[in-house]
Structure 1
Amino acid sequence: EVVQSILNRTESRQELAIARRPALYHQGAIVSTIDQNLVGDPLALQALVDLLNQHRKEIAFCIATGRRLDAALKVLREHNIPQPDVLMTSLGTEIYYAPQLTPDRAWSNHINYLWNRQRVVDLLGDLPGLELQPKLFQSTFKISYFYDPAIAPSVEELKRILFKNDQTVNVMFSFGQYLDVVPIRASKGYGLRWFAEQWEIPLNRILTVGGSGADEDMMLGNSLSVVVKNRHREELSDLNNIQPIYFSEKEFAAGILDGLAHYNFLELCRATGQNHD
């Protein structure tokens, strides 16, 4: 009787409208961050864009970024990067689908669970070494700080403070100076798995590309993971002890191309498509 009363209050999971699921025929997906990965080497980027355009019908192109949607789109336009099939912005707290950049409202409702933005801001407001970033970098489900490790409490201590005050959240540190707090159900990794389920793409046919600590959970699990060479990738060095992850010795988009070759990713997806025919 107790369980039934809970079930009666539970909303059924919202399925995506057909218009937002145009790519069920995709046999795989490439999910990349923007900074430290896509941009930085124009020649390699053009080679990657050409490759994406050649295989757009078989392989979905996705962006996972800490940037807000408007900022992410601005960078993509500046570098002539085609609009992705899926944009996971603000550290995976917002998901948008091409071609109309339709927001995934079901995802927003899902991550809103136990989220109390103002309470988090109040708890961290007076701590040394933490400074809220400008409004441009904030969003409904993401609180972003400049973090000075020399004087701020450790990331683990910040987590303890929040959890002790009943704030169930994800805390992420990246690029040696940024600290972000998002809902417990939100991250790039959770957003990736939500997208994979909606588009019915197996995780072992998804290539994830990262370069900093904020990408860690996106690269765990059954996806094929590539860490490009950059000065922040030591934040991901512990992943080598957990599962096989390819650490490329090439930078920016060249590292992505190197990762695609390492996993023979295009052939892997093509073979999957043939098996389904």
Structure 2
Amino acid sequence: MAKFLFVTDLDNTLVGDDRSLAELNQQLSQHRQEHGTKIVYATGRSLILYRELLTQKELLVPDALIAAVGTEIYYNASESDPDPAWEKQLSSGWNRDLVVATGTNFVDLLPQPASEQRPFKVSYFLTEQAAEEVIPHLESLLKEQGIYAQLIYSGGKDLDILPSQSNKGLAVEFLRQHWEIDATQTVVCGDSGNDIALFSVGEPRGIIVGNAQPELLQWLSANQADYRYLAKAACAGGILEGLYHFGFLL
């Protein structure tokens, strides 16, 4: 057995099945202790909402936290300052004030709570019905103003606007290179649209949990590969299933 880099989304991926989560925690904790495996959470949550989750669920202390849909990396969640090297990488060409001003042109965009508005992330609620028209129009307006942002829509309700150099997958690549871990020894897990980047940056082993959202299943259908696995079980049970499938656990 060799060390690997384990990366997972939180809501409805790692979290959602407490019994399987307890088993997975035990397996990962032992593997980290014996082989030096790295554990990373990659969430859409801000650091504030991540800390709230810690009061509700039993989670292992990660080696790194990727928060705010990949725009912030923390090595110690008790601290409030994200990795400055990663932030520097995101700042080129990003104008948050202009992104916010552009969003005011769309009545269908409802700003998410203040805790979820981050230096490199602007977040809205947007209905599925309105999304088909709003997203391409908004993307076009941003490009006209010289802002090459990523628009990530997930769960049929959440729209996040990020710098083009940032998402969960690129943040994982940053950590993978920092720790010098090969993509073949990296496994990523997710359930929704904002996890697509986890599976599409490089060729890590990918686990899509059985309760995945339609947008992720649609993407997987068009991007099938032997290094991506669609689990039958939901949440942490699906992660365990995938880890056995790829041979990370025996």
Both proteins in one fold, TM over 0.5:
yes
Alignment of 1:128-277 (within 5 A): 128-152=107-131, 153-220=133-200, 221-230=202-211, 232-244=213-225, 245-266=228-249
Partner Cα separation in structure 2 for residue 104 and residue 124 of structure 1: 28
Question: Higher mean Cα deviation, 75-84 or 47-56?
Answer: 75-84
Partner Cα separation in structure 2 for residue 34 and residue 264 of structure 1: 22
Residue deviations 1:172-201, cap 9 Å, x none? Answer: 000110000011111001100000000101
Alignment of 1:37-116 (within 5 A): 37-57=13-33, 58-98=36-76, 101=79, 103-116=82-95
Which residue of 2 is the match for residue 7 of structure 1?
A: none
When the two chains are superposed, the root-mean-square deviation of aligned CA atoms in Å is 1.8
Q: Residue type matched to 1:265 in 2?
A: F
Unaligned runs of 5+ in 1: 1-25, 268-277
Residue deviations 1:185-239, cap 9 Å, x none? Answer: 1100110000000010111111100111111111122100011122514434223
Q: Is the 8 A contact 1:203 1:222 kept in 2?
A: yes
Q: Residue type matched to 1:47 in 2?
A: E
Identity rate of aligned residues, in percent? 33
Partner Cα separation in structure 1 for residue 115 and residue 175 of structure 2: 26
Kindly state the Cα deviation for residue 95 of structure 1 after the two structures are TM-superposed: 0.4
Partner Cα separation in structure 2 for residue 99 and residue 120 of structure 1: 28
Partner Cα separation in structure 2 for residue 150 and residue 233 of structure 1: 15
Partner Cα separation in structure 1 for residue 95 and residue 147 of structure 2: 8
Partner Cα separation in structure 1 for residue 175 and residue 77 of structure 2: 16
Kindly state the Cα deviation for residue 100 of structure 1 after the two structures are TM-superposed: 5.9
Kindly state the Cα deviation for residue 166 of structure 1 after the two structures are TM-superposed: 1.2
Partner Cα separation in structure 1 for residue 152 and residue 162 of structure 2: 8
Q: Residue type matched to 1:105 in 2?
A: P
Kindly state the Cα deviation for residue 147 of structure 1 after the two structures are TM-superposed: 0.4
Kindly state the Cα deviation for residue 76 of structure 1 after the two structures are TM-superposed: 2.9
Q: Residue type matched to 2:3 in 1?
A: Q
Q: Is the 8 A contact 2:47 2:77 kept in 1?
A: no
CA 1:169–1:53 in 2, change beyond 3 Å: closer, same or farther?
same
Partner Cα separation in structure 2 for residue 51 and residue 181 of structure 1: 36
Which residue of 2 is the match for residue 272 of structure 1?
A: none
CA 1:159–1:247 in 2, change beyond 3 Å: closer, same or farther?
same
If the length of structure 1 is used for normalisation, what is the TM-score?
0.82
- Work out which of the two has the higher radius of gyration on C-alpha atoms and give 1 or 2: 1
Question: Higher mean Cα deviation, 253-262 or 66-75?
Answer: 66-75
Unaligned runs of 5+ in 2: none
Tell me the matched-pair count.
242
Which residue of 2 is the match for residue 19 of structure 1?
A: none
Partner Cα separation in structure 1 for residue 158 and residue 107 of structure 2: 14
Question: Higher mean Cα deviation, 232-241 or 157-166?
Answer: 232-241
